[in-house]
Amino acid sequence: MIPFYPIPGIRIGTALAQIKQAQRDDLTVFEIAPHSTGVAVFTQNAFCAAPVTVARSHLQTHTPRYLLINSGNANAGLGERGIQDAMTTCEAVAQLTGCAIQEVLPFSTGVIGMPLPTDKIRVALPQAITSLVPDGWEKAARAIMTTDTFPKLYSLRTEIQGQPVTITGIAKGAGMIKPDMATMLAFLATDAKVPAPLLQTCLQQAVNNTFNRITVDGDTSTNDACVLIATGQGGLTLDSQTDTQTYRHFCASVEEVCRQLATAIVKDGEGATKFITVIVEQGESEAECLQVAYAIAHSPLVKTAFFASDPNWGRILAAVGRAGVTHLNIRDVNIYLDDVCIVKDGAVADTYTEAQGREVMSRKEIVIRVWLGHRGHHQTQVYTCDFSYDYVKINAEYRT
């Protein structure tokens, strides 16, 4: 069993609604204690799914008391019907629990363009609610999976200003991963007491440095959402200040949980066999560094070379060159595979051998490091994976 720490004020239940399959639970309910605070960030895809639209709207006026998550169906690309179906599921939760409809946040993941089977969800909901328990995190991590091969769960306990703090989170995602906010779905909670505006700032910062730095295939989902709940039932209370050591320590802890979940998503990338970190340094800006990092991380030629353990370093060089960096002096560019220098001053390094490259490329975890040549002091990193035969097979058969 994956070790985790329950969060006081959070109970979780799951049920089998048979939305797409009948092998495991696919419906999850989070119950959130009164007086908690809840924030979220969502996809920037213009074709955002109906549950994203509804959840955004509900968060603007109410503090969430329940989260409702279904896998197997994205409830996306369905226009007004999708909105009505999402509201129907929220109403079903409200009827069973006595909360307001606006206190329910819906989330969906799965196939786009198929009507949400609301009848199946309504039938399974009582079981999910009656099974609510504080230690339901692992069951929930499994219930929100689609093409994932393992559940993604991470839990952290630390001490801040002498007070114990717990942060626990789950996530799902393996394909259609190039977030413009978070991963496909992630749910985190803490027992700290944090005002909503401060919690929102903290989550956005953590997401930018973690979930927004991963890519499996360069595709941004219609359903991306990341939620952070603070129940306030622990010992730590944060005020409204962002420039304190307490706030920085808390945010660093949230970011660590997000990073662990984000990298787990990449390691579970559909058909992935290699975990690759791309680090770009000496850029004029962080945006410039990201431009180069994503050019490498999104390249099918680079990703297939890693799958084959083929040290075809020219593909990395070409990706850097086409990244669109203004006035790039290629004579100042250095590129490394782990500790092996493959490009020195814009050309193949004198010390490089094919055997060195092949040995590095055969590793399961690899770092690509690019120096842009003293253009500035900015740097960033992106996490990605290789492309295998299975990636094509999984996505070709996704709806069958």
Q: Write out the catalytic residue numbers.
A: 183
Question: Interior CA angle at 289 toward 377 and 310, to 5°?
Answer: 120
Phi, psi of 218 (to 5 degrees): 80, 5
In contact, 297 and 384? CB cutoff 8 Å: yes
Distance CA 361, CA 381 (A): 19
CA dist 230 and 193 (Å) reads: 6
Rounded Cα distance, 304 and 310, in Å: 9
CA distances from 71 to 128, 163, 255 (A): 14, 37, 25
Q: Can you name the residues that pair with 69 across neighbouring β-strands? A: 28, 107
Give the contacts of 355 (CB within 8 A, at least 6 positions apart): none
394: how many CB neighbours lie within 10 A of its CB? 16
φ, ψ for residue 175, nearest 5 deg? -140, 170
Give the pair of three-digit tokens for residue 118: 């609301």
Q: Which residues pair with 169 in a beta bridge?
A: 154, 188
Structure tokens at 271: 């058909």
Q: Which residues contact 6 (CB under 8 A, 6 or more apart)?
A: 134, 135, 137, 168
Three-class DSSP category at 107 = strand
Residue count of the chain: 400
